[in-house]
Amino acid sequence: MTAPLTSPTSASARSISASIQAPARPPGVWATAATYATRTIKQFIRTPQLLVVNAVTSIMFLLIFRFVFGGAIGTGDVAYVDFLIPALAAVSGLFAGGAVGVAEDMESGLFDRLRSLPIPRPAVLLGRSIADTLLNTWGTVITLVVGVIVGFRVHGGPVAAVGALALCIVFAASFSWLMIFLGLVSGSAQAAQGMSFSVFPLIFVSSAYVPVESMPGWLQPIANNQPVTAMVGAVRALVIGGDTEALLGHSTSWFVVRSLLWSIVILVVFASLSARRFARL
DSSP state for residue 46 in the 8-state scheme = T
At a CB cut-off of 8 Å and minimum separation 6, what does 281 contact? 106, 111, 112, 115, 184
pLDDT band at 22 (very low <50, low <70, confident <90, very high): very low
CA distance 278 to 146: 38
pLDDT per residue as tens digits for the range 137-155: 988 999 999 999 999 999 9
CA distance 130 to 179: 12
pLDDT per residue as tens digits for the range 221-243: 999 999 999 999 999 999 998 77
CA distance 72 to 65: 10
The residue among 179, 182, 223 whose CA lies nearest residue 204 is 223
Helix (H, G, I), strand (E, B) or coil at 25: coil
pLDDT band at 205 (very low <50, low <70, confident <90, very high): very high
pLDDT per residue as tens digits for the range 71-119: 788 887 888 999 999 999 998 877 766 888 899 999 988 888 888 888 8
pLDDT band at 163 (very low <50, low <70, confident <90, very high): very high
At a CB cut-off of 8 Å and minimum separation 6, what does 91 contact? 1, 171, 203, 206, 208, 228, 231, 232
User: Which pLDDT does position 12 carry in this prediction?
Assistant: 46
User: Which pLDDT does position 180 carry in this prediction?
Assistant: 95
pLDDT per residue as tens digits for the range 37-75: 999 999 888 877 777 777 787 888 899 989 988 878 888
DSSP state for residue 228 in the 8-state scheme = H
Contact between residue 207 and residue 229 where contact means Cβ atoms under 8 Å apart: yes
User: Which pLDDT does position 183 carry in this prediction?
Assistant: 94
